Amino acid sequence: MTSPAPIDPSLDLEEEVARLKKERNAILLAHYYQDSDIQDVADVIGDSLQLSQAAAKTDADVICFAGVHFMAETAKILNPDKIVVLPDLDAGCSLADGCPPDKFAAWKAQYPDSVVVSYINCSAEVKALSDYIVTSSNAEKIVDHIPADKTILFAPDRNLGAYLEKKLGRNMVLWQGSCIVHETFSERKLIALKTRHPEARVLAHPECEPTILKMADYIGSTTGILKHAIAAPQKEFIVATEAGILHQMQKAAPEKSFIPAPPVANCACNECPFMKRNTLEKVYLALRDLQPRLELPAHLLTAARTPIDRMLALS
């Protein structure tokens, strides 16, 4: 693909994005982990479930997905006849990358009578090999829906799987994948931070390691964490998920204090390098040029749609 024409530096990108959305009959979907300037121009801001639901319902002709590759794939699966653009095609996901379809298929073949439940953070090829897709918002409900006599294969996040096993008292066969953001929160640094802020509640995403989850006052999806922080009477929170969510927390509850949980590395907070590949400039270019487009073969669109539809029906 040729390089896009340069951006006129005099343009007001927020105004241009608004103009292009109207001109293209486009919707801009943005994940909570996007930079704040993208969140501020988005039509829908949410977690994976909310954005999938929005993609399923939209009557826009163009979907610009400010997120990562598997999210744009999901939007395309739900809208095979619409144009779906991803501001940066290299915005991937460590969970999806760590679950290659060929190895996943071989793993599945070892358990011929199982029910395959895959976290939405996986490729379209893995979705097509799955019986149900779940997000952190609905995984508990969907796993609980599966008959108790069935063996469940859960992929690709071992931490979310282990959390569900403990919560539901149900053994599953887990794919050993993890999220590079959520697996690197430091237990030692979190203990030190909690010591300095003894009244702060710890809010954690179930993709975190068990050592972090055992310290959490609340465990939930990105949206669950946001809603809990807004509704809780406490004024101070330590947040163990990608720091992009803090923007919406601070907008919704400016009188409260939100502290990002520290990673093992010597920096202030955990950020997803894939999510941060998208910029407002790239969003503008994607809407201007309708590139780069997310395309999938017809057979994959059909096969991957079934487990996603099952998820949406149960959500």
The annotation status of 207 as a binding-site residue, yes or no, is: yes
Residue corresponding to tokens 């907008």? 251
Interatomic CA distance for residues 138 and 135, integer angstroms: 6
The annotation status of 136 as a binding-site residue, yes or no, is: yes
Interatomic CA distance for residues 142 and 20, integer angstroms: 38
Interatomic CA distance for residues 25 and 60, integer angstroms: 5
Interatomic CA distance for residues 143 and 86, integer angstroms: 31
The annotation status of 93 as a binding-site residue, yes or no, is: yes
Antiparallel, parallel or unpaired: β 173-174 and 152-155: parallel
Chain centroid to Cα 281, Å, comes to 22
Interatomic CA distance for residues 245 and 223, integer angstroms: 9
The annotation status of 121 as a binding-site residue, yes or no, is: yes
The annotation status of 48 as a binding-site residue, yes or no, is: yes
Interatomic CA distance for residues 262 and 268, integer angstroms: 6
For residue 269, the one-letter residue type is C
Residue corresponding to tokens 């202030």? 268
The strand pairing partners of 236, in sequence order, are 257
As a 3-state breakdown, the chain gives helix, strand, coil percent values, each rounded to 5, of 45, 15, 40
Cα distances (angstroms) measured from residue 251 to each of 72, 221, 305: 26, 19, 35
The annotation status of 130 as a binding-site residue, yes or no, is: no
264's CB contacts (< 8 A; 6+ apart) are 184, 185, 186, 189
Q: Which of 21, 124, 27 is nearest to 71 (CA)?
A: 124
The annotation status of 206 as a binding-site residue, yes or no, is: yes
Known binding-site residue numbers for [4Fe-4S] cluster: 93, 179, 272
Known binding-site residue numbers for iminosuccinate: 31, 48, 119-121, 136, 205-207, 222
Known binding-site residue numbers: 31, 48, 93, 119-121, 136, 179, 205-207, 222, 272
